[in-house]
Chains A and B, each alone.
Chain A
Amino acid sequence: MKGARAGRRRLSRDERLAYMLLLPALGAVFVIVTIPFVLVIIQSISAEDGTLVGFRNYSRALANPLLYDAIRATGVYSLIVLPTEILLGLTFALLVHRTVRPQGLRAAIYVLAILPLVVPPVAIGVVGRLVYAPSYGVLNVILERIGFVHHEVNWLGDPTLAMLAVASVDIWQWTPFVYLVLFSGLQTVPRESVEAAQIDGADWWAQFRYIDLFYLRPLFLLIVFFRLADVLRVFDHVFILTGGGPGTTTQLLSLYMYRVEFKYFDSGQAAALAVLVLVSFSILYRLISRALPLERT
């Protein structure tokens, strides 16, 4: 008893202060995250009248073929947008880092890169529709005028092209984010290391491969985390451009879950879907963080 009392030492004044300072943040997390999450879990095992139904909502959610269409569409969308945004963002970042020297020009590029990020997704969707829409879309007009195509391209009606069209809007909006993150990462590369490598005769690829990439690796993990979370939330521009069509080709998980909740008003199944998505992506994040370690080694 005495030993236990001795083991439970009194907190120091600084420790108590630290806990006190943490308390508002923990309280906010509890109210904003924990309570809704518990409510979602309860909803996922309840019927509409509140009676507990076990895992019935989960089995209904998993038995619906539209779920797998939505997963497939989200997977295809992610496979298009993530690599493209990372490659383009990296290319722009390296290009600006190595070729643009005037600080004023760098600042101008910085501002230009921020612009797409602050435009509301709904507005981007409307602009996207003006670009791709049949009969009055700007893209078809341009392509026909320069003689690239002779018939109108059905950008939003063909399943493959519709997916590329909605993905292109995402790429336009979010490549600047990747650029900004990687460009800031490149600023942390020590100049001495680069100069030493250059004296040793390293070409641009060797500089990138052995120096830049070393500093950028944790940022790739950050980008993948953020962008994957965003892909899960993509809604506005897809809703405006295609409404999930043709058929269910571009009905991503977020749009599907919206329909289950707000069209079918099946809140039990929607909650079950939300829990399933959360668990699946937590596992996916764990796998990604193992593949791309956060610490530089």
Chain B
Amino acid sequence: MQRISRREFVKRTAFAGAMLTSIPALIEACTSGSNTTSKTTKLTIAAVQGAEDGPLKKVAPMYQSQTGITMEVVEFPYDQLFEKLVTTFQANGSSYDLCMMDDPWMPKFGTMGALQPLDSNFGFTRDSDIPSIVYDVGTWPPPHGPVPPSEQGKSKHLYGITIVGNVEMFMYRKDLASTAPASWNDVLANAQKFNKSNFYGYVIRGKATNPASSDSLPILWSFGGDIFDSSWKVVLDSTASIDAITFLTQTLKKYAEPGAENTDAADRDRLIAIGQAFQSTTWPAEVTGVVEAAGVSQVAGKMAYIPIPQGPGGKGLGMMGNWLLGIPKGSQNGQAAADFIKWLIKTENMKTYVQNGGIPTRTSLLNDPTLGQSNPYFPALAQSLAAQPNWRPRTDQWNAVETIYGTAVNQAVAGLKTPKDALTAAAEQIRTAMKQAGYPS
């Protein structure tokens, strides 16, 4: 037996160790491909915790039993999901095969190039039973409206498929008012008429940042106001915008609940559900989760749901809040993930999904009278989707803009600033932020 020196022994041991430790990585590198399905045994979905992912959790085991692929739904609260996804995408992590995304997040993820295109990679095509706006919201760069400067000239692809067809709507007590409010003036008149001690004519969801922003944007748009014009110029301090926020935070606020500046969706639902308020804007999940929930709500069956009422210009614009499913670029199971999305949006599977509390996007299901009985807002949702609701500005800076805008509206609701002062200051901050991000201001 040949004797070797100590140095040679160390060298050989190190080499053998390196070879042994790299074998799993080599095997992984040889077997993995971004779109293989043959080896996929598990799909991990990053989902938002709450009413939005509840139905998904219920139907995922069905897919598991049909295909043998283990479905794991990892839940995060709303804010944390966004942060988690951004940091995962920045690291090109492969932790998630599918991710739920609120539609305002699409610009951020689209700009980052964080998702796999569903059309060119996996053969997704538009279905005539699903409104085109639903596909548009999952497309990047946006097919209409202003496009961020950095994204101009890029080819458009579908990156997300809506699985929660949220559009902001309006609700009122139909047992008290016989006719639906057609305009915001009607809303005001009803608020005056029904407002009394311990019963509020209108509920403002005015908590700072996202709640105040979501609650006020449909009113802002319906009054002809906006945050940006078609060339990204900030118009939040325009007369129409100031009039809209003045209407909400001063005129309508006279008939609103006390503490409106601290009211979030749960507080609003509570006021409506215990019969202490007449009307407000609402999201589908609030309707099914609280307002129409038997055993929880005292007003189940007493509420009517309509699209957002019209502003002075005769237009009422709802706001999209779709939740989409996308496939992160880092996922190693792209094809299997795409197969799951295709399975989920098939009519028969989406019907099961709706029966488990899901909010569909298929017009045939929204107009299905059987499903409509347990989901009284479906006709209003179908109308809202057909009327081409607005989406929040398609900019990767939206989170910053929303924080500034939602804080300004909150200041106006709280009476800390006049609507004009609050919006003027917010417009200036947004201009600065957008300029720093390379947008024309």
> Would you call B259 and A247 a contact (CB within 8 A)?
no
Contact partner of B399 among A245, A246, A249, A265, CB < 8 A? Answer: A265
> Would you call A245 and B403 a contact (CB within 8 A)?
no
What B residues does A135 contact at CB under 8 A? Answer: 257-259, 267, 270-271, 276
> Would you call B416 and A133 a contact (CB within 8 A)?
no
Give the A-B contact count at a CB cut-off of 8 A.
90
Contact partner of A245 among B86, B208, B270, CB < 8 A? Answer: B208
State whether the Cβ of B431 lies closer than 8 Å to any Cβ in chain A.
Answer: no
Total count of chain B residues near the partner, CB < 8 A: 35
CA of A262 to CA of B403, assembled, Å? 11
> Would you call A262 and B83 a contact (CB within 8 A)?
yes
Q: What class of interface size applies to chain A in its complex with B? A: 20 to 34
Nearest CB in chain B to that of A151: its residue: B258
> Would you call A152 and B259 a contact (CB within 8 A)?
yes
> Would you call B399 and A263 a contact (CB within 8 A)?
yes
Nearest CB in chain A to that of B263: its residue: A134
> Would you call A133 and B262 a contact (CB within 8 A)?
yes
State whether the Cβ of A154 lies closer than 8 Å to any Cβ in chain B.
Answer: yes
Nearest CB in chain A to that of B211: its residue: A243
> Would you call A133 and B207 a contact (CB within 8 A)?
no
> Would you call A244 and B259 a contact (CB within 8 A)?
no
Tell me which residues from 246 to 283 in chain A have a Cβ below 8 Å from any Cβ of chain B.
246-249, 259, 262-266
CA of A249 to CA of B403, assembled, Å? 14
* Closest beta carbon of chain B to A197's beta carbon, Å: 52
> Would you call A134 and B267 a contact (CB within 8 A)?
yes
> Would you call A157 and B414 a contact (CB within 8 A)?
yes
> Would you call B267 and A245 a contact (CB within 8 A)?
no
* Closest beta carbon of chain A to B11's beta carbon, Å: 27
> Would you call B261 and A245 a contact (CB within 8 A)?
yes
Q: A246-B416, A247-B414 are in contact. Are A134 and B399 (CB under 8 A)?
A: no
> Would you call B208 and A243 a contact (CB within 8 A)?
yes
State whether the Cβ of A159 lies closer than 8 Å to any Cβ in chain B.
Answer: yes
CA of A1 to CA of B410, assembled, Å? 74
> Would you call B270 and A157 a contact (CB within 8 A)?
no
> Would you call B86 and A246 a contact (CB within 8 A)?
no
What B residues does A159 contact at CB under 8 A? Answer: 414, 416
* Closest beta carbon of chain A to B436's beta carbon, Å: 7
CA of A249 to CA of B417, assembled, Å? 12
> Would you call A246 and B411 a contact (CB within 8 A)?
yes
State whether the Cβ of B433 lies closer than 8 Å to any Cβ in chain A.
Answer: yes
State whether the Cβ of A182 lies closer than 8 Å to any Cβ in chain B.
Answer: no
State whether the Cβ of B400 lies closer than 8 Å to any Cβ in chain A.
Answer: yes
> Would you call A242 and B403 a contact (CB within 8 A)?
no
Tell me which residues from 124 to 173 in chain A have a Cβ below 8 Å from any Cβ of chain B.
133-136, 152, 154, 156-159, 162
Contact partner of B262 among A66, A157, A263, A264, CB < 8 A? Answer: A157
Known: A60-B436, A154-B262, A247-B410. 12 other contacts (CB 8 A): A134-B263, A156-B262, A245-B262, A245-B414, A246-B262, A247-B411, A248-B411, A249-B416, A259-B403, A262-B82, A264-B403, A266-B400
Residues on B close to A: CB < 8 A?
79, 82-83, 86, 108, 207-209, 211, 257-263, 267, 270-271, 276, 397, 399-400, 402-403, 407, 410-411, 413-414, 416-417, 429, 433, 436
Residues on A close to B: CB < 8 A?
60, 66, 133-136, 152, 154, 156-159, 162, 242-249, 259, 262-266
A selection of 5 A-B contacts at a CB cut-off of 8 Å is A242-B208, A244-B407, A247-B407, A247-B416, A264-B403
